[in-house]
Amino acid sequence: MNQVPTIKLNNGTFMPQLGFGVWQIPDADAEQAVATALEAGYRSIDTAAVYGNESGTGKAVTGSGLAREELFVTTKLWNGPSQAWGRDEVLRAFDDSLAKLGLDYVDLYLIHWPRPMRDDFLSIWETFGEIAASGRAKAVGVSNFRPADLARLAGAGDLVPAVNQIELHPLFPQAELRSVHAERGIATEAWSPLGQGKELLTLPAVAEIAGRRGRTAAQVVLRWHLQHGNIVIPKSVTPARIRENLDVFDFELADDEMAALDALGADGAGRRLGPDPAGFDA
């Protein structure tokens, strides 16, 4: 079994650098997918309230036979526009996630989107501080927050997000945001680290490196992330690919190979695949 390295978060918690994401996996299939991942050697699982698969994920976690302290479970608050998100609503949503997961605590709890047009993430973050202080979330963080959003959090109190989970891949490298993370001591976690398996994995630059290395395109891109210090959560429901995505710790990309992949997103604009956090409020 490959040994997955860990990243030390700013509160002293250690998080595996490579985990298993369950976005778009139906709840009925999540138990088997997560069980397969845990059997393969993954120890970090990333879900969210809006994914609708916390129950299946939790069944796999509790049924794995692994000690709870060996596992790192992340979920997220879906702070959507259906209601106001005061303290009571945030705590109720967190309790609901714990109940569905069947856990006494999660290792990381994230605000899923900043939704700047609602102007409420500062008050939500204050409640996240309560959750962290209670020990029911070992660490708290955010997802899809921009530099301006992180600056507002910094100006509102001492609690610094342990993680910001963002869309990040070679075609959308988010250099400015990663620089802000480094300055503030926030770990960078990439969602859609493989560019959702679309254009990125078929590019000649990626294919050339993969062929030379005798690796898949996905493994090459995951190495790019790991060598940049990003936390990654690739998702698959195919057992062979689940194992393959974990088999990336016995080789390294050379400097020129890293530079070739860096150049894919060097045009400045980048190619975002998901929603823009500046306007997302669905």
Structure confidence by residue, pLDDT tens digits, 65-86:
999 999 999 999 999 999 999 9
Looking at residue 36, its amino acid is T
CA distance 111 to 263: 31
Q: What is the mean pLDDT of residues 264-279?
A: 86
pLDDT at 1 over 60: no
Distances (CA, A) of 80 to 28, 139, 178, 217, 268: 24, 22, 26, 35, 30
Q: What is the pLDDT of residues 94-138, one digit of tens each?
A: 999 999 999 999 999 999 999 999 999 999 999 999 999 999 999
Q: What is the mean pLDDT of residues 214-220?
A: 97
Helix (H) or strand (E) holding 213: helix 204-213
Query: Which range among 165-169, 196-200, 268-272 shows the weakest confidence by mean pLDDT?
Result: 268-272
Q: What proportion of the chain, given as a percentage, has pLDDT over 90?
A: 95
DSSP 18: B
CA distance 112 to 45: 16
Three-state SS at 46: strand
Reference 60, options 17, 18, 100; nearest CA is 100
C-alpha dihedral over 268, 180, 75, 96, to 10 degrees?
-120
Q: Residue 215's pLDDT band (boundaries 50, 70, 90)?
A: very high
Q: How far is CA 106 from the centre of its chain?
A: 14
CA distance 220 to 170: 11
- The DSSP secondary structure of 88-141, one letter per residue, reads HHHHHHHHHHHHHHT-S-BSEEEE----TTT--HHHHHHHHHHHHHHTSBS-EE
Count CB atoms within 10 A of the CB of residue 123: 15
Q: What is the mean pLDDT of residues 150-170?
A: 97
Average pLDDT, the chain: 96
Residue with tokens 């939704």: 115
Looking at residue 6, its amino acid is T
**pLDDT value of position 2:** 58
Q: What is the pLDDT of residues 232-264, one digit of tens each?
A: 999 999 999 999 999 999 999 999 999 999 999
**pLDDT value of position 269:** 58
CA distance 169 to 172: 5
Q: Residue 184's pLDDT band (boundaries 50, 70, 90)?
A: very high
Cα angle, residue 276 at apex, residues 270 and 277 outer, rounded to 5° = 125
CA atoms within 13 A on the CB side of 255: 0
> For residue 259, what are the contacts with CB-CB under 8 A and spacing of at least 6?
none
The whole-model pTM stands at 0.97
Catalytic residue annotation: 51
